[in-house]
Structure 1
């Protein structure tokens, strides 16, 4: 009887936890801790930069307010690419098919210009992380796209300039995509990590075939499932998973 009761209790717990609760989770790899949000093809994942009046959104609070006015809610969100002091995207930016920034193909200073860099593409049937020059040749049909750099994982290999013994550590965030393009992982480190450590999270722990660095230092996450609503200076591009506001769930911290 005790064993049967325990099984029934476990079944009740499993049924009581909705699928949405699995969007974001805490995980660890090689002694480092990360928050990882998993999104699937067909989910309403979008990029945001400006509101209807053309003003930069910049913060999670403003994004939530804008989306709430449309009868929807933000499931999770994070910064999604590098930007100029006025918060304009550094490279390519597409929002619902509209161009907000041009593709940069030349090498340059800083992390963005550490080639190979790449583009995160949200298409109607899935996701892709594409090296910049390959994107320029193919020009895939992306509803949303954000260029950033460097690439973290390129066709299953780490960026050639990443050093296992690097001393450069920052809070970092980025995105990785499965080989079939049906799953995207948006991740942020809980503590400062090296590029090499962060890239291995995507390749070795998550199984991403390709992954792209979004930023460091200013990296932030909104994930009410994890009690996260990171605060900081206004951002440029933001990637967010959107859901109907009336689906019975809450955006408050748990």
Structure 2
């Protein structure tokens, strides 16, 4: 290929990146949210919890190191399902079709156990979905990737029955919503918000029918093209989305 042809390829690649930003800022009800999209036809999604030695990754910086050269293809990453003090998943965790932690249907205190809780999962076809834990338990096919958290923010377009419209608890929070074509929208608030506002943003701002709360207080985002890699408390499971090669 000549220099002119190579230049055209580079220009086309740059235009594609400009037209397909990994994350964007949206404002809803006076609050700012960062929205990062996973699209199965363009991107690859993985979950990560431990490094090759079996130790928890703990931070987005260690996730980047764990990925090695693949880190150059990362669109974004953030904390995924909730975790125990030892950073192990509280509930279901599946990586590359391997069940590392089973579905947790126990009753206990805390956000994770505020039923219905739910599962974010990606099938072998790359399509993403969010379902209540009860609905997920009725599935007959195993996913390629899955993480459990709680509570559900939206179920069939309806807010979780225990979520107040705009409760007093305000935290930086993140969650994930499912789209109609197997895509997923990951959201992190840019300031403290209530559960209700986050849920309404998924429904009224993004058009999601099903959405799952991932966490608050610990919520962190790595968005390389935005020059952002948050620091904070140690993390358990993380989700990472990469450009396809």
TM-score scaled by structure 1? 0.85
Distance 1:70-1:37 versus aligned 2 partners, 3 A rule: closer
2:188 paired with 1:171: no
Find the aligned partners of 2:128 and 2:149 in 1 and give their Cα distance.
15
Extract unaligned runs of 5+ from structure 2: 1-10
Match of 1:77 in 2: 77
Find the aligned partners of 1:219 and 1:165 in 2 and give their Cα distance.
20
Q: CA deviation at 1:164?
A: 1.4
Match of 2:216 in 1: 216
Q: CA deviation at 1:124?
A: 2.5
Q: CA deviation at 1:234?
A: 1.8
Match of 2:7 in 1: none
Q: CA deviation at 1:73?
A: 3.4
User: Where does 1:143-154 land on structure 2 (aligned, <5 Å)?
Assistant: 143-154=144-155
Contact 2:74/2:224 (<8 A) preserved: no
Q: CA deviation at 1:243?
A: 3.5
Deviations 1:27-52 (A, max 9, x none): 11111100000111132111001112
Extract unaligned runs of 5+ from structure 1: 1-12, 248-254
Find the aligned partners of 1:228 and 1:161 in 2 and give their Cα distance.
34
Contact 2:166/2:197 (<8 A) preserved: no
User: Where does 1:89-100 land on structure 2 (aligned, <5 Å)?
Assistant: 89-100=89-100
Match of 2:190 in 1: 190
Match of 2:235 in 1: 235
Match of 2:54 in 1: 54
Find the aligned partners of 2:212 and 2:84 in 1 and give their Cα distance.
19
Contact 1:79/1:235 (<8 A) preserved: yes
Match of 1:44 in 2: 44
2:46 paired with 1:18: no
Q: CA deviation at 1:101?
A: 1.2
Find the aligned partners of 2:26 and 2:235 in 1 and give their Cα distance.
25
Match of 1:102 in 2: 102
2:202 paired with 1:202: yes
Find the aligned partners of 1:72 and 1:54 in 2 and give their Cα distance.
23
Count residues with an aligned counterpart: 232
Match of 1:33 in 2: 32
Contact 1:24/1:35 (<8 A) preserved: yes
